[in-house]
Amino acid sequence: MNDQQGEAAMHQLSKTATGIKGLDDLTFGGLPTGRPSLLCGAAGCGKTLFSMTFLVNGATDYAEPGVFISFEERPKDLEDNVASLGFHVADLVREKKLVIDHIHIERSEIEESGEYDLEGLFVRLGYAIDSIGAKRVVLDTIEALFSGLADTAILRAELRRLFAWLKDKGVTAIITAERGEGQLTRFGIEEYVSDCVILLDNRVEEQITTRRLRVVKYRGSAHGTNEYPFLIDDEGVSVLPITSAGLEHKISQEAVSTGVADLDSMLSIGGYFRGSSILISGLAGTGKSTFGGSFVEAACKRGERCLYFAFEESPDQIVRNMNSVGVKLKGHREAGLLRFEAARPSLYGFEMHLARMNRDIERFDPKVIVVDPISAFRGPHLEIHATLVRLADICKSRGITAVFTSLSSVGDQMNESERSVSSLMDTWISLSDMEANGERNRVLYILKSRGMNHSKQLREYELTDDGIHFIDAYIGSEGVLTGTARLAQEAKERQASMVRQQNTEKLRRELVRKREATERHIAELHADLAREEDEVDTIINQEEAWEAMLGSDRSKMAAVRGHHHEK
Amino acid sequence: MKNNLPEDSAPSIEVKSPEPGAYNLRLYVAGQTPKSLAAIANLKAICEDHLSGRYSIEVIDLTITPQLAAGDQIVALPTLVRTLPPPLKRVIGDLSNTERVLVGLDIRPRVQEPS
């Protein structure tokens, strides 16, 4: 289906790449070749810079010279303004890759008498195009003609002719126009330019501006229909195509060390999965950044490129602070393995931040990123969610292992940003400190870690001079004990076990004594028996002796009697 | 400065240029279109009527010399440019409205009419 559509689109319409990151993705190739496209938006939303980028990219990257017809800014001003994007327009003009023509109409200078047409504009445009063989044209902002010329009937007819003429010329053109009330453009230019209409918007929400882009229509082509944030800064223009991220990323079985040996062992695979997203949430001062920093240091030691997005501290501050807990980042930073991108969260809306981060990621191509912290972003949670989903998707699609830190507030189980991203995260480590006995002790808990059997224990840890170290867990009837409570409990335990030991010892001794007593008793009985036996023997002997003596006495007596009797 | 003089000091109907200053007029056209031809004819007639002997007309055909269009900021055609006397004045169209041409070239002051 998708392929068919893509193929069909390719056959139907050839496209001209704008070279603007993201825009070419969401229009599946760029602007319609050889046709005018309308770029509309309110004042100050970047129409001029956007269209100049189109020309400069064409001239430098696609060998397509361009013509910029400016109705508002003079060439010199224009050159200065786009110099802020790093464009050297004057060089391109010298190299005959670009022509800038300033068309200026001052109504007060002009008297209209009779019929006229805009052939002069055609002549100038045609001359400019032919002089360098231009393939791209920008008319910025053609509506200025409406304020310069009175006869709008002529003007409209001529504009219609102009756009047809541009098509005949086969140039890919961008026509810019001011946003109007109730319609796309103030003077209804969209009526004439209908192949491709792109709307730029610059909205201020909660004092933060976010530039957004929407492809309103694109005849004959599929296109992303959402609003996409885009970015204009010293690196040029880039659009963040949200929907180009999907769920089809490849997954990895490889484990990458967390940089904390004890934490590695809590995760059964010995670290995070490569390409997974990790949320480290915790209270202030629980060492979220240190966990992030340790992870980065481990990655740098493996020779992987790391990008650290800092929203609360300056890079130097982070490096210094990490150094104090034994996480050495300075060398890696100097070696170019580690890059910091620091910005105040309030500098742009988070969509802008996202666009910027996306661009940085694409440019630096890191293996590992740290976003510290996501809780710095304030705003409607739907938007935060959408933004972070996109960031996580970007990372996953590129196989980047991403660590996000988030500051939770006391008493709040989850803050807005955590709640909104928790389902996105593959691993969620919660850091907190337990307050008891007048002290705070840091504990860590792995709330979840998809695809592995992780430890379910609460673990106490310390931030020491040489990194994060875990302390053997004490888990008793009163839950996990930390700090002195743990020590006290341990002492109590030791005492109790000593008492128990003493008790057994006593019992053992008693038993021995009992056995000895019993044995003594038996011996006594034996002795008694022996004595009795002796006595009985003696008596028996006496009796026998007595009997024997009696017998002989009797015979003696009988003999005496008999003898006497016999006589 | 000097050029404000005629307007300020002479609100009369027929403006005679204080100096024998000639009118240098340049008419931009594109090819021999009906509008071009009408403009040339109309201009000649107006000059003869109002600037007799005090004008020179240069007709520039941009189909032949397109590079000249940018110099005088030409957008609409035909365009009549008064290069002398200063300041630069422009009249666009086929010059069929003589009154407008005279006003546009400062030959006749702008009439304060509401319609």
Q: Going from the N-terminus, what domains does chain B have, and what CATH number goes with each? A: 22-104 (3.40.30.10)
Considering only residues A488 and B115, tell me which one the structure prediction assigns the higher pLDDT.
A488
For residue B60, the chain A residue with the least C-alpha distance is A120
pLDDT tens string B35-52: 999 999 999 999 998 888
| Distance linking the first and last C-alpha atoms of chain A | 162
Gap between the Cα atoms of A272 and A291, Å rounded:
13
Gap between the Cα atoms of A136 and A67, Å rounded:
6
Q: Report the gap between the CA of B19 and the closest CA in chain A (Å).
A: 23
Burial of A445 (0-12, 13-18, 19+ CB in 10 A): middle
Same domain, A210 and A280: no
End-of-domain residue from the set A187, A214, A239: A239
Q: What is the mean pLDDT of residues A202-215?
A: 79
pLDDT at A63 over 60: yes
Paired tokens of B12: 């009369």
Amino acid at the residue A53: T
Q: Give percent of chain A above pLDDT 70.
A: 89
Q: Give percent of chain B above pLDDT 70.
A: 76
Measured between beta carbons, the chain A residues lying within 8 angstroms of B92 are 110-113, 116, 149
Paired tokens of B44: 């000649």
Q: Going by C-beta distance under 8 Å and a sequence separation of 6 or more, which residues neighbour residue A23?
A: A30, A213, A230, A239, A241
Strand partners, A239: A230
Going by pLDDT thresholds of 50, 70 and 90, the confidence category of residue A410 is low
Same domain, A48 and A134: yes
Considering only residues A276 and B2, tell me which one the structure prediction assigns the higher pLDDT.
A276
A139 is a domain residue = yes
Give the burial string for B58-87 (b: 16+ CB within 10 Å, else e): eebbbeeebebbbeebbbbbbbbbbeebee
Gap between the Cα atoms of A235 and A229, Å rounded:
16
Is-contact A134 A65, C-beta < 8 A?
yes
* Host domain of residue A210: 2-239
Query: Furthest-apart CA pair in chain A: how many Å?
Result: 213
Same domain, A105 and A173: yes
pLDDT of residue A86: 84
Q: What is the mean pLDDT of residues A92-118?
A: 89
For residue A84, the domain's CATH number is 3.40.50.300
Is-contact A416 A350, C-beta < 8 A?
no
Measured between beta carbons, the chain A residues lying within 8 angstroms of B101 are 111, 113
Amino acid at the residue A546: W
Name the residue with tokens 């023509």.
A101
A501 is a domain residue = no
pLDDT of residue B43: 93
Measured between beta carbons, the chain B residues lying within 8 angstroms of A103 are 73, 75
Same domain, A123 and A83: yes
Same domain, A125 and A32: yes
Beta-strand (E) ranges in A361-466?
368-372, 401-407, 427-436, 439-449, 458-464
DSSP H/E element including B102: helix B98-104
- CB contact under 8 Å between B28 and A114, yes or no, is no
Measured between beta carbons, the chain A residues lying within 8 angstroms of B100 are 111-114
pLDDT of residue A223: 81
pLDDT of residue B7: 42
Using alpha carbons, select from A87, A439, A109, A474 the residue that is nearest to residue B81: A109
A288 is a domain residue = yes
Considering only residues A489 and A166, tell me which one the structure prediction assigns the higher pLDDT.
A166
Sort strands A338-342 and A306-310 into parallel, antiparallel or unpaired.
parallel
Considering only residues A423 and A90, tell me which one the structure prediction assigns the higher pLDDT.
A90
Q: What is the mean pLDDT of residues A224-251?
A: 71
A508 is a domain residue = no
> Which ranges of A187-260 would DSSP assign to H, the alpha helix?
none
End-of-domain residue from the set A473, A505, A530: A473
Query: Furthest-apart CA pair in chain B: how many Å?
Result: 42
Same domain, A167 and A292: no
Going by pLDDT thresholds of 50, 70 and 90, the confidence category of residue A416 is low
* Alpha-carbon distance values, A350 to A210, A314, A387, A540 (Å): 8, 18, 7, 120
pLDDT at A533 over 60: yes
pLDDT of residue A59: 93
Q: What is the mean pLDDT of residues A23-41?
A: 89
Same domain, A185 and A97: yes
Query: From the CB of residue B90, how many other CB atoms can be counted at a distance below 10 Å?
Result: 23
Q: Going by C-beta distance under 8 Å and a sequence separation of 6 or more, which residues neighbour residue A167?
A: A34, A35, A36
- Region class of B23: left (phi > 0), else alpha (psi between -120 and 50), else beta: beta
Query: From the CB of residue A246, how many other CB atoms can be counted at a distance below 10 Å?
Result: 9
pLDDT of residue B1: 42
- CB contact under 8 Å between B92 and A111, yes or no, is yes
Percentages of chain B per state (helix, strand, coil), in multiples of 5 = 30, 20, 50
Which residue from A103, A111, A119 is facing B90, i.e. has the nearest CB? Answer: A111
Same domain, A226 and A138: yes
Mean pLDDT is lowest, of A116-125, A381-390, A544-553, for A381-390
A480 is a domain residue = no
Mean pLDDT is lowest, of A43-52, A232-241, A496-505, for A232-241
Measured between beta carbons, the chain B residues lying within 8 angstroms of A149 are 75-76, 92
pLDDT of residue A562: 65
A143 is a domain residue = yes
Q: State the pTM of this model.
A: 0.65
pLDDT at A45 over 60: yes
- CB contact under 8 Å between A115 and B93, yes or no, is yes
The predicted complex's ipTM stands at 0.77
End-of-domain residue from the set A211, A239, A267: A239
Is-contact A390 A245, C-beta < 8 A?
yes
Paired tokens of A104: 């200026």
* Alpha-carbon distance values, A427 to A141, A233, B1, B12, B56 (Å): 51, 34, 78, 90, 86
pLDDT at A425 over 80: yes
Mean pLDDT is lowest, of A159-168, A301-310, A314-323, A470-479, for A470-479
Same domain, A107 and A70: yes
- CB contact under 8 Å between A120 and B75, yes or no, is yes
pLDDT of residue A442: 86
pLDDT at A58 over 90: yes
Is-contact A155 A142, C-beta < 8 A?
no
pLDDT of residue A61: 92
Going by pLDDT thresholds of 50, 70 and 90, the confidence category of residue A440 is confident
Q: Report the gap between the CA of A57 and the closest CA in chain B (Å).
A: 26
Q: 3-class SS at A424?
A: helix
pLDDT of residue B2: 41
Same domain, A352 and A454: yes
- Chain A: residues touching B (Cβ < 8 Å): 101, 103-105, 109-121, 123-124, 126-127, 145, 148-149
Using alpha carbons, select from A476, A456, A488 the residue that is nearest to residue A266: A456
Measured between beta carbons, the chain B residues lying within 8 angstroms of A100 are none
Is-contact B82 A103, C-beta < 8 A?
no
Going by pLDDT thresholds of 50, 70 and 90, the confidence category of residue A9 is very low
Is-contact A99 A67, C-beta < 8 A?
yes
Instruction: Please provide the average confidence, as pLDDT, over all residues in chain A.
Output: 84
Same domain, A280 and A313: yes
For residue A145, the chain B residue with the least C-alpha distance is B75
Give the burial string for A169-189 (b: 16+ CB within 10 Å, else e): bebbbbbbbbbbeeebbbbeb
Beta-strand (E) ranges in A72-147?
98-102, 110-112, 136-140
Considering only residues A353 and A535, tell me which one the structure prediction assigns the higher pLDDT.
A535
A397 is a domain residue = yes
Q: Report the gap between the CA of B57 and the closest CA in chain A (Å).
A: 18
Gap between the Cα atoms of A368 and A442, Å rounded:
26
- CB contact under 8 Å between A113 and B91, yes or no, is yes
Same domain, A212 and A340: no
Using alpha carbons, select from A358, A422, A347 the residue that is nearest to residue A384: A422
pLDDT at A119 over 70: yes
Measured between beta carbons, the chain A residues lying within 8 angstroms of B103 are 111
A366 is a domain residue = yes
Going by pLDDT thresholds of 50, 70 and 90, the confidence category of residue B13 is very low
Instruction: Please provide the average confidence, as pLDDT, over all residues in chain B.
Output: 79
Q: Read off the DSSP letter of residue A482.
A: -
Q: Read off the DSSP letter of residue A379.
A: S
pLDDT at A308 over 90: yes
For residue B43, the chain A residue with the least C-alpha distance is A113
pLDDT at B57 over 50: yes
Which residue from A103, A116, A123 is facing B93, i.e. has the nearest CB? Answer: A116
* Number of compact structural domains in chain A: 2
| Distance linking the first and last C-alpha atoms of chain B | 30
Q: Give percent of chain A above pLDDT 90.
A: 30
Using alpha carbons, select from A89, A26, A84 the residue that is nearest to residue A228: A26
pLDDT tens string A343-371: 887 777 766 777 788 888 888 999 999 99
Q: Which of A208-212, A274-278, A430-434 has the highest mean pLDDT?
A: A274-278
Gap between the Cα atoms of A185 and A203, Å rounded:
17
Sort strands A98-102 and A227-233 into parallel, antiparallel or unpaired.
unpaired
Q: What is the mean pLDDT of residues B4-22?
A: 45
